[in-house]
């Protein structure tokens, strides 16, 4: 499995309220949620994002509310992977459970610039910045989580387990 796309770059502590403001949580439709993704900190995001693009941020990405609408909105907006220095716990769980690939890699989070073209190999955890030519080793998922991701989410994993 691989992802490749242009980078949208954000800072520390991107919270789930700015990823998808609560005023839109009267809907749970992924397409509708995607149209408001990131709008409180980056109004242009939804107009610029293309299928396959990548989000890169610093520490504690996805902090705050447990709303699964946050990774759902990011995934439905077209983002193929989020790279961050660290993720907030519930966001991390939610992303795996809905099949949004996320990867922790402090060096990549620090050095990759907005607009760079980046590819990620999920099997090896290697992140390559095609614009600068630099490669980074991201943290691989524990085996248990890999199984959930391979099953394309928690529900399928439980169904397969029987």
Partner 1 sequence: MAKLNLVLGNDITSPVAIHEMEKFNKKGVFDKDKIALVPDHFVPNKDIKSAEHCRCVRNFAKENEISNYFEVGEMGIEHALLPEKGLTVPGDVIIGADSHTCTYGALGAFSTGVGSTDMAAGMATGEAWFKVPSAIKFVLTGKPAKWISGKDIILHIIGKIGVDGALYKSMEFVGDGLQYLSMDDRFTIANMAIEAGGKNGIFPVDEKTEEYLKEHTTREYKVYEADADAVYDEEYVIELDKLKPTVSYPHLPENTHTVDEAGDITIDQVVIGSCTNGRMEDMRIAAEILEGKHIAKGMRCIVIPATQAIYLECMEKGYLKTFIKAGCVVSTPTCGPCLGGYMGILGDGERCVSTTNRNFVGRMGHINSEIYLASPAVAAASAIAGRIVAPE
Size of the site for partner 1 (CB under 8 A): 40
Of these, 46, 98, 126, 151, which contacts partner 1 (CB under 8 A)? 98
Nearer to partner 1, 3 or 20 (CB): 20
What is the footprint of partner 1 within residues 115-144 (CB under 8 A)?
Answer: 144
User: CA-CA-CA-CA torsion for 56, 61, 65, 66, nearest 10 degrees?
Assistant: 80
Judge whether 138 and 128 are in contact, CB under 8 Å: no
Closest by CA to 10, choosing from 72, 76, 55, 44, is 55
Q: What is the DSSP letter of 112?
A: P
> In the complex, which residues of this chain contact partner 1 (CB under 8 A)?
13, 15, 17-18, 21-23, 25-28, 40-41, 59-60, 63-69, 71-72, 86, 88-90, 93-94, 97-98, 144, 153-156, 158-159, 162
């Amino acid at each position: 499995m691989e992802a490749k796309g242009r980078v949208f770059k954000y800072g520390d502590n991107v919270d789930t309220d700015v990823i998808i403001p609560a005023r839109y949580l009267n809907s749970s439709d992924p397409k509708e949620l995607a149209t408001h993704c990131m709008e409180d900190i980056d109004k242009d995001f939804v107009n610029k994002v293309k299928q396959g693009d990548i989000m890169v941020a610093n520490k504690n990405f996805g902090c705050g509310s447990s709303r699964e609408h946050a990774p759902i909105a990011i995934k439905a907006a077209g983002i193929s992977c989020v790279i961050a220095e660290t993720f907030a716990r519930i966001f991390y769980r939610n992303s795996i459970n809905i099949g949004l690939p996320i990867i922790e890699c402090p060096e990549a989070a620090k050095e990759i610039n907005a607009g760079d073209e980046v590819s990620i190999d999920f099997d090896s955890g290697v992140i390559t910045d095609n614009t600068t030519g630099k490669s980074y080793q991201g943290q691989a998922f524990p085996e248990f989580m890999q199984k959930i991701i391979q099953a394309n989410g928690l529900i399928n994993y439980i169904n397969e387990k029987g």
